[in-house]
Amino acid sequence: MAIELKSLESNTFPSWCPGCGDYGIWMAIKQAMTQMDVPQENYVVVSGIGCGSKMPHWIKTFGFHTLHGRPAPLASGVKLANHDLNVIIVGGDGDGYGIGLGHFTHLMRRNHNLLYIVENNQVYGLTTGQTSPTSDEGYCSHSTPHGTLEVPVNPIKIAVSAGATFVARGFSGDIQHLTSLIKQGVEHKGTAILDVLQPCVTFNKKNTYQWYQERVRKLEEDKSHDITSKVEAFKAAEEWEDRINVGLYYQEDRPTYEDQLPQLQKGPLVDQGVVDVGPVLNRLR
């Protein structure tokens, strides 16, 4: 039975700035949940630290608000304990592409069956707008008053090269398209990465809704784009200033980490009961 949107409403309401792109992501996640035949109690939302990382508080499912940069290992543990659950990670660009980049890349390599949504506003919005790993070169902020010197992290290229089996980008200003991408990511078997362009209306005065709307182009409209080609995914990810591609960049079919574990062949660990290790310990004495 499909979930009703009102059943996902929590007892509290987000405290984001008016117009924040996180509102679009929040609505898209809930809408995607209503479009899938998955019981509400089978969802777990795991987050790190950041403006949008309180998402588990504002969607009425199971959730875990963990440490800065650490949602990936915790979500992996949830998936291993009960691989029948639909696990969704939600975190910012600083959380996933900065302090959590190591965990992010290892998640791709292992191909756990879950979705990682990154709210990419290109600043550290929670701590007054310092430069983040995805800030454009030359971007001025409190931490880089003369403009950042670094080339920004390219999350799409990292995800493809690290082994993610579903790599997409969305825009929080297009909720309908974003909802579709979230639904596809949840239904994909393997690690799905969804980078979401999410304007920070308070601190990022460059990458605004209007700036994105003038540049975003849907890959679905490019009939020549081959989602099975890593080379084409890399080329599409290189485009930025004049054209920014949203949609599905790359997808492949590869066994998930959970599918390959013999310990899970009998079902989720939570259903297998406690194993008596006494006889084994006695033999080792």
Q: For all residues of the chain together, what is the average pLDDT?
A: 94
Radius of gyration of the chain (CA): 19
Residue 123: CB atoms within 10 A of its CB come to: 29
Tens of pLDDT, residues 205-252: 999 999 999 999 999 998 899 999 999 999 999 999 899 999 999 999
- pLDDT confidence of residue 142: 86
5-10 long-range contacts (CB < 8 A, ≥24 apart) are 5/30, 5/31, 5/34, 7/40, 7/60, 8/33, 8/34, 8/40, 8/59, 8/60, 8/61, 9/60, 10/57, 10/58, 10/59, 10/60
Tens of pLDDT, residues 115-139: 999 999 999 999 989 999 999 999 9
What are the tokens at 218? Answer: 């849907």
CA distance 181 to 248: 8
Tens of pLDDT, residues 66-84: 999 999 999 999 999 999 9
What are the tokens at 65? Answer: 């608000």
Nearest to 246 by CA among 149, 173, 134, 168: 168
The domains found in the chain, sorted by start residue, are 5-284 (3.40.50.970)
277 has a pLDDT exceeding 90: no
CA distance 183 to 85: 15
pLDDT level of residue 1 (50, 70, 90 thresholds):
low
Kindly report the pTM of this predicted structure: 0.94
- pLDDT confidence of residue 71: 96
